Amino acid sequence: MPSSVGSLASQMRGYETVRSFLSSAVSHLFVDAPFALLYVALIAAIAGQIALVPLAVFVFCLIFGLSYKKRWKT
């Protein structure tokens, strides 16, 4: 335990910053995007051009999410 309350508050604020980063949409995107693209590649290997449908949905959701995030911040 830190010796002063201010020091403890500063530590907790630092932990909050790390927690908010780890729970942010960007970190989820970095984890989920490679798997989504892997599944699209698997669908393309099995079914060919039908893989364009989930790829288009992925791109649409990505664009929609980014535009919504920008609108929400302002």
Question: Residue 31 falls within a domain, yes or no?
Answer: yes
Q: Which residues of 33-67 are buried (b: 16+ CB within 10 A; e: fewer)?
A: eeebeeebeebeeeeeeebeeebeebeeeeeeeee
Residue 14 lies in a domain: no
Asked whether residue 64 is domain-assigned, the answer is: yes
Q: What is the C-alpha separation between 17 and 28, in angstroms, rounded?
A: 16
pLDDT in 10s for each residue of the chain, 74 residues:
656 667 766 777 777 777 776 667 677 778 888 998 899 999 999 999 999 999 999 889 888 877 876 666 55
Residue 44 belongs to some domain of the structure? yes
- Whether 3 maps to a domain, the answer reads no
Sign (positive or negative) of CA dihedral 41, 47, 49, 50: negative
Q: Is residue 54 part of a domain?
A: yes
**7 in a structural domain:** no
Q: How many domains does the chain have?
A: 1
* The predicted structure's pLDDT at residue 32: 85
State which residues form the domain around 66: 25-73
What pTM was computed for the model? Answer: 0.56
Res 29: pLDDT = 77
Q: Given the structure tokens 């990505």, which residue do they identify?
A: 62
Answer yes or no: is 38 within a domain. yes
Query: Tokens in use for 3?
Result: 């010796």
